[in-house]
């Protein structure tokens, strides 16, 4: 059997086809325009009012003296919380999440 390369283009011509395809692929004008845009957020009047109310309820002061004292105790490894207090807080948290209901009366 004899193969004589019929129907194939020479390598130089194949490169020309590749080059033409590469030049033909360009970003669409809409893609280019979108890269220059930036997102913008505008709060509604209700959201602005809510933000003001939430900021009012935040503590406006920090008891720096107490913070430094607690930091020192923690760094020294001397800060201890009684297990009973931890348990109380866990139980309070569970009840506040469930609205005071137990598993039996849900």
Can you give the residue ranges of every domain in the chain?
A: 45-98
Q: Tens digit of pLDDT per residue, the chain (106 long)?
A: 566 666 666 666 666 766 776 666 666 666 555 556 778 888 899 998 888 888 776 666 778 888 899 999 999 999 998 999 999 999 999 988 876 555 555 4
Quote the pTM value: 0.30
> What phi, psi does 27 have (nearest 5°)?
-65, 145
| Distance (Å, whole) CA 92 – CA 30 | 56
Token duo for residue 39: 């997102």
């Amino acid at each position: 059997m004899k193969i004589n390369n019929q129907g194939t283009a020479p390598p130089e011509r194949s490169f020309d086809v590749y080059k033409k395809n590469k030049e033909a692929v360009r970003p669409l004008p809409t893609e280019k325009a979108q890269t220059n845009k930036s997102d913008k957020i505008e709060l509604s009047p209700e959201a602005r009012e809510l933000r003001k109310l939430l900021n009012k309820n935040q503590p406006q002061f920090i008891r720096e003296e107490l913070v430094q004292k607690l930091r020192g105790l923690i760094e020294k490894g001397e800060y201890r919380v009684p297990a009973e207090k931890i348990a109380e807080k866990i139980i309070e948290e569970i009840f506040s999440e469930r609205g005071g209901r137990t598993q039996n009366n849900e």
